Amino acid sequence: MAKVLVLRTAGVNCDEETAHAFALAGGEVTTLHIGSLLAGDQGLGDYDILAIPGGFSYGDDLGAGTVLANQLRTRLAGDLHDFVDEGKLVIGICNGFQVLVRLGILPGWEGEKAASLIENVSGKFEDRWVDLKVETDNCPFLDCSGENGESSSRYLQAPVAHREGRFVLRDQALAERLLENGQVALTYRSSEGEGDSEPKAAAGAYPDNPNGSIMDIAGICNEKGNVLGLMPHPERFVHRLQAPSWTRNPPGAGESSLGALSSAGDGFSIFSRAVGFVNDRADKIS
């Protein structure tokens, strides 16, 4: 069974939802305060998946994710890099994404800080639902190949809730590198043309792109694909009932009302695929 560590500290407020999502997916979940890691009571090596959840770690008083990133860099950098190098999975959601970017783990280029997540173009906190497209086939959290090689949905919905979510890179050459490496994991899509086989790109337009990120980027991964950072909150849409539009989506043919209401939301797939990936790898090794 995949062992999942959900890291928490002061100001983090999505740890329980993230732990719930991984538990629903069949993971063995431990929610741990960073103090326990710093004290050596437990180590990262005991786990298969590390989740850095959303919220406002340490109040974001020195910048979003700054204090938590500094703690990890100064005290746990070696363990964290070993964890990533071994191919274990890491997901940073919202504040967790900000932490991974500040650490240089994302995009993951020689450990340098090549990207930033800065204040939204709107200049305010954005709390809304967004449409997303999966842009990579190289990330276990987003692997869209279904059973027997059948392709599953490449489109997701999830809520965002952030003030500093605008993804930017140091220069245009780095943007091209990100694209060439296939590290753009998720992009914002337009909500117009619902029902089309290919929803249009947000093209930077507000509110489809809620923060003004370059290339409509909602999430990126490292080159190996085992580290994912994203601004939307998939842990807030693991049940169909959590969608604001659930009353407008009646049960399909052959689906009971009770079954429809208890079925999974789009975000659940991110957690179930990660747990499934770890379990499959363990089976192959054994």
Told to judge if 162 belongs to the known catalytic residues of this protein, a careful annotator would answer no
Report residue 118: phi and psi, to 5°.
-115, 180
Nearest residue to 131 via CA among 198, 183, 55: 198
| Residue of 126, 135, 235, 239 marked catalytic | 235
| Residue of 14, 94, 139, 221 marked catalytic | 94
- Cα 14–17–18 angle (5° rounding)? 80
Sign of the dihedral defined by the CA atoms of residues 161, 97, 48, 134, in that order: positive
Q: Which amino acid is at 228?
A: L
Q: Which residue has the tokens 């990126």?
A: 220
CA pair distance 152, 131, nearest whole angstrom? 16
Q: Is residue 90 within 8 Å of 105, Cβ to Cβ?
A: yes
**Burial class of residue 155 (count of CB atoms within 10 Å of its CB; 0-12, 13-18, 19+):** middle
What is the DSSP-derived secondary structure letter of residue 155? E
Told to judge if 94 belongs to the known catalytic residues of this protein, a careful annotator would answer yes
| Helices of type H across the chain | 15-24, 34-38, 66-85, 95-103, 172-180, 257-262, 268-285
- Cα 24–133–126 angle (5° rounding)? 80
Sign of the dihedral defined by the CA atoms of residues 187, 159, 12, 224, in that order: negative
Told to judge if 235 belongs to the known catalytic residues of this protein, a careful annotator would answer yes
Q: Which residues are catalytic?
A: 94, 233, 235
